[in-house]
Each structure stands twice: as structure tokens, then as C-alpha cells.
Amino acid sequence: MILRLITLVMLHGLLSACNLLSDKRAEEPVAPAPLADTLRQWQPVDNPDAVILGLHSFGDYGAAFDALGPYFADAGHLLVSYDQAGFGERIEQGHWAGEEQLVSEAVAQIKQLYERHQRPVFLIGESLGGAVAILAALEVPDKVAGMVLAGPAVREGIRLRYGWNAAIASAALLAPGYQLTVNRDPDDPNLAADSAQRLANDPRVIREVRMDAYWGLIQLADSASDQAPSLQTPSLLLYGGKDNSVPAAGISHLHDHLANQGEYRFYPEGPHLLLQSPRWQQVADDILDWIDRTPY
């Protein structure tokens, strides 16, 4: 009973923008696809003005950028996304791939795009993708032109942060395969209609979360929070007033760390997944304006 209560309270915040959680057994395992097979790219008609790598949120996959990609291509920019390890076509029985693999793959993609286009790369990270973007940019700062962090997974300043960590770590140790199902509303008014339907019905979106995978997410968010003070990369931080996943305290501390090289946009009616919101075009226009004003 204690384990279930701990899990329900914590998963309500960081795993999704949904509210209903229930138990469910794991589905049959599916062999993961190679990263290269999951690459998506939206190429402008002419040579791109900017090169952008998109990093999706926890439970989602590269299709998170299906709306943003064409929109950016029409504006003259190249946007590339892929299924991060453990997500989309690369799910491995719900297991957490690990911070090292997530970050190293992002770094490898940044290097490849840098070499191919001979210019620094912009990163757009949503939720978990924001934490990965922070850690990757710290590894190759000379190859990153700037970062857009949309509701990034950060945890600095959260009340009882380390107490929760101890509880979650214990639960993950005692019952690593314990699972909860995240039920997503196909008619969620806080999301664009296409995004709500995709997140609710696409079989490549994760809805069953292992306890050890959740602990991995917490550790990744902690790493991004702890290392954020070292960032020197130009940044645009985005946050929604209806974000029930990333506490405002974490965003406030990150904003302070980025103050000298960053800008901030707050959307009072914005949900956690700002890039999937009904007003995603407004968010996209703000990103495009910032990219156009950022030297690269």
C-alpha cells in the first residue's frame, strides 16, 4: 500500500499531463529498432538557415515534432528528431536506457549535424528532452548554437526533494518491475487535437512505466539540475502556467542560472507539453524569433 501511494503521488507530476493511473501488466516485448531507422527530418527548399535537433519528452518519441518540423522547414530551417533510447520504436520492455546512453546519443547526433552542415546546432528539448539537451550541451558547447528548453525536467528547489528521492529509490530497488499505466485523454483540451489523439492512441507512446525507469527519470532530472549552473549556452526557457509535471521551483532556479545568457517565456494557459498545446504555433513563432536573433 505504501509503495502504491508513493508511486501515485510522484507519477502524477513528472510522467505525463494526465491524471488517471492504474495497474497493468507489461505487454509482450518488441525488438527495438536502430536509432538510424527512427530519424525524421524536415528539410527546407533551400539550404537551411539553422540546423535544429529535437529531443522529445518521456514516454513520447520522434513524432512529437511532426507539427513543428514542417513549420520550421517553411521558415527555412532544418529540424531533425529521433526516438531516444527506450522510447518509440526503440522500447526495450519498458526498461530505462540510462542517462549515459541518452546523452551520448544526443551528443553523437549534434556532432553529425555539425559536421554535415558546418555550423553549430540548436537544440529543442521538451520535458525529459530538455534535461538531455542541458547535459549534451555541456559536453559539446562549441557545437551548440543555443537551446530551447520547453518545460524541461529539472528539480532544484523542490520541497522534500531528497526525501522523495530516497522513497523512490527504495521502491525501485524493492520492486523495479512494478508498473503503472498512464491513461491519456484523447480529447484533452490542454493539447492540440492531433497531439491528444496521438498520445492517447499511438502504440509507440509509452503508457506502462516501470518503477526503475521512473527512478532513472528522476536521476536524469537531478543531473540536469545540478549541472545547469555551468551552462554558458544561449538559452530560451519556456514554461506553462498549467504545467502540473515540472514544479515552478525547478524552473525558477533554472531561470536564475540562465539569466546571463537566456530568455524566458511564460504561457499562462500553457500545459506541460507546450510543443503539443493548442497554441503550439505561438510557441513555435517565439522559438523562431529567438533563433533568428541568436548568432550562429
Domains of the chain, CATH where assigned: 2-293 (3.40.50.1820)
Output the nine-digit C-alpha cell for 160.
522534500
* Per-residue CA distances from 45 to 18, 74, 77, 161, 262 (Å): 38, 8, 9, 48, 30
- Listed in sequence order, the DSSP H helices in the chain are 2-14, 68-74, 99-117, 128-139, 161-174, 193-201, 211-227, 248-257, 280-293
Q: What is the pTM of this model?
A: 0.89
Report how far apart the first and last C-alpha atoms of the chain are (Å, whole number).
Answer: 53
Question: What is the overall mean pLDDT for the chain?
Answer: 89
Burial class (CB in 10 A: 0-12, 13-18, 19+), 234: buried
Output the nine-digit C-alpha cell for 231.
551552462
Binned at pLDDT 50, 70 and 90, residue 119 comes out as: very high
* Per-residue CA distances from 184 to 64, 87, 94, 161, 251 (Å): 15, 17, 17, 27, 25
pLDDT by residue (tens digit) across 217-238?
999 999 999 999 999 999 999 9
3 state SS of 179: strand
User: Phi/psi at 32 (nearest 5 deg)?
Assistant: -70, 150
Residue 178 has pLDDT above 90, yes or no: no
Query: Sign of the C-alpha dihedral, residues 31, 32, 37, 39?
Result: positive
**Predicted local confidence at residue 28, as pLDDT:** 56
pLDDT by residue (tens digit) across 195-209?
999 999 999 999 888
Residue 277 has pLDDT above 80, yes or no: yes
Binned at pLDDT 50, 70 and 90, residue 4 comes out as: very low
Output the nine-digit C-alpha cell for 226.
545540478
Question: Mean of the pLDDT values across residues 268-286?
Answer: 97
